[in-house]
Amino acid sequence: DSGVTQTPKHLITATGQRVTLRCSPRSGDLSVYWYQQSLDQGLQFLIQYYNGEERAKGNILERFSAQQFPDLHSELNLSSLELGDSALYFCASSVSPTPGQPQHFGDGTRLSIL
């Protein structure tokens, strides 16, 4: 158990809909990361937060947004969903955003778009 909690584990929805994925980092970790794992793109970094502030962005679509709340949990919002958004979405956390800090991953949320 990594200590990172992601909910829900599975999500099935339709094209055009909006969903929110939730992540609680390990106790003591201040930095949260979101990654997408898909068959065609592999594991890709989406966005990073540190202590409530956006720290870095990767290949995140404009239809996707995220935030980190004062209690350090984070939410990833995906809107106007398309079939290609079907993927496993991971949240990870680390103590700080310092490069090289090991990131510990949650179990992921599997999103299926019908």
Question: Are 47 and 66 within 8 A, CB to CB?
Answer: yes
2 binds another protein (CB under 8 A): yes
Q: What φ, ψ does residue 83 adopt, rounded to 5°?
A: -55, -35
Q: Which of 91, 88, 90 is nearest to 25 (CA)?
A: 91
In whole angstroms, what is the distance from residue 71 CA to residue 32 CA? 12
- Which one, 71 or 98, has the nearer CB to another protein? 98
73 binds another protein (CB under 8 A): no
The residue count for the chain: 114
- Which one, 44 or 65, has the nearer CB to another protein? 44
User: What is the torsional sign of CA 81, 60, 5, 43?
Assistant: positive
106 binds another protein (CB under 8 A): yes
Give the contact letters, 76-105, x = binds to another protein (CB under 8 A), - = no. Answer: ------------x-x-x-x--xxxxxxxxx
Q: Which residues of the shown chain bind another protein in the complex (CB under 8 A)? A: 2, 31, 33, 35, 42-45, 48, 55-56, 58, 88, 90, 92, 94, 97-108, 110
